[in-house]
Amino acid sequence: MIKRLLYLIFLISLWISGIAFETVVVGALLTLFVMYFMIPLVFHYSPVLQRHIVFLNFVNLPKRVDYNTPEREDLPGTRNFYLKTEDNVKVGVWHVLPGSLISSVPKEETADHVAWYEKSLGDERPVILYLHGNTSSRATAHRIELYKVLRKMDYHVVAFDYRGYADSSPVQPNELGVVHDAKVVYRYIRERIGSSPLFVWGHSLGTGVSTHAVGDLCLEGDHPAALVLESPFNNIKDEIKFHPLSSFFRKMPKFEWLFLKPLAASGIDFCSDAHIAHVQAPVLILHAEDDLVVPYALGQKLYETALKVRPKGAPPVKFVGFAASCGYSHKYIYQAPELPDILREFFHEAGETKN
């Protein structure tokens, strides 16, 4: 009602400002036609558009990042490299060292330098595989700030960009593709860590990727030490349905047919509430009450579903909420002063950390 009133006031103001009434009416009708007819139909019949809107990989900020020099992004002691995940796909990866190892890095980029980094993954410090959300890259500010928090806790962090993002291969992403990328990077780490605990951390869309990937890995008998889900949704259909931008279309007849039904056929499913049934590892869910991108209620739904669908005797699931008064919104939970203690307690309860 408020939106309609504001739109009416806008039209009246145009008319009062001297624009011909007929022009105002035609412009209004054309806007409504495009907004409520053309856009929904184009979305429904265009898998390419659906993938672009879900992954937003064309939004690449910050610009002019030299991924080969992460120290310019305030990450000294970080190695940039590339992993081939398929014949035509490689992904860009950063290995961010724990704080206590930064001063020990060999000075020159040599074979010994590379071997030193890889060997360090097996030094029994925890290793975090970080799977980011849509838009931008591993060099985005809030992601770097989280790496710093984890680095200060003396953890290794391995972060990468899925296909289609940043300096990874310019291949259009879909769910199976990005999940495959995540599993290849996971196996690269697994082969090098020895007895070091390996945790998987997903944020936003990355929670859909990580829950799917970890569910698959657990079915294959490879269980990570734990799974951390920051600002997660229960499934992509509910995320789109309750996203603020969908409020313009949500009450339209055939909304689900227009916007939700075609997703699975386009390779975009992300049913975390189904995949979490297969996750045989402790799960920690972090969510802020003032999250407008992924509503808090969707994180709660995923938590409640996990309690119901995982088999009896499965490792624990824990939900930690952050009050709206903290202002952490969708991507600033890393600012919570209690976060390191929450993580240490959870990882300790998981029975895997050795420090």
Nearest to 227 by CA among 265, 182, 258: 182
Kindly give the residue spans of alpha helices, DSSP state H, lying in the chain: 2-16, 21-33, 39-45, 47-55, 111-120, 141-152, 175-190, 205-219, 236-242, 255, 272-275, 296-309, 339-349
Q: What is the largest CA-CA distance in the chain?
A: 75
Give Cβ neighbours of residue 51 (< 8 Å, ≥ 6 apart). Answer: 172, 173, 174, 266, 267, 268
Strands 198-203 and 226-230: parallel
Catalytic sites, residue numbers: 204, 291, 330
The pairs formed by 144-150 with CB atoms below 8 angstroms and a separation of 24 or more are: 144/73, 144/74, 144/75, 145/334, 145/335, 146/203, 146/334, 147/75, 147/96, 148/74, 148/75, 149/334, 149/339, 149/340, 150/96
Q: Which tokens belong to 95?
A: 């290995």
> Left if phi > 0, otherwise alpha if psi is -120 to 50, otherwise beta: which for 8?
alpha
In 3D, which of 241, 185, 179, 249 has the Cα closest to residue 207? 179
Residue 322, Cα to own-chain centre: how many angstroms?
Answer: 19
Cα 215 to chain centroid distance, Å, stands at: 16
**Enclosing H/E stretch for 229:** strand 226-230
